Amino acid sequence: MLGANVWCRVLGVDRTTVIEEIDFGKESETVVVHVRPRRATKRRCGRCGTQAPGYDQGEGRRNWGALDLGTMQCFLQAGSPRVECSKQGPKPDFLCHNPAAH
């Protein structure tokens, strides 16, 4: 199994993202990587990046497309909580709109 640093580079995610688990689909040719933000980057506005209090837990876990791994499709899966930004109003947490997570 590859180390976390190698997976981060392959998937195109930065140091603010923690890889929790990697699921390889047996019949379907997909890889689902379960991620979460590091504690220091939690509760930040997805638009402006400022720290903000929690608003709600969102719609549960969501999938985002990542760079494909050869012939296998790859998805990042994470929770999708929202924060109450003082400038922007309710917005997704930082990880949801982190450009490195796409």
67: which DSSP letter?
Answer: -
pTM over 0.85: no
Q: Domain span at residue 90?
A: 4-101
Our count of domains for the chain comes to 1
Residue 10 confidence class, pLDDT cut points 50, 70, 90: confident
As a whole number of angstroms, the distance between CA 8 and CA 44 comes to: 21
The number of CA neighbours under 13 Å toward the Cβ of 27 is 0
For position 94, what pLDDT does the model report?
Answer: 57
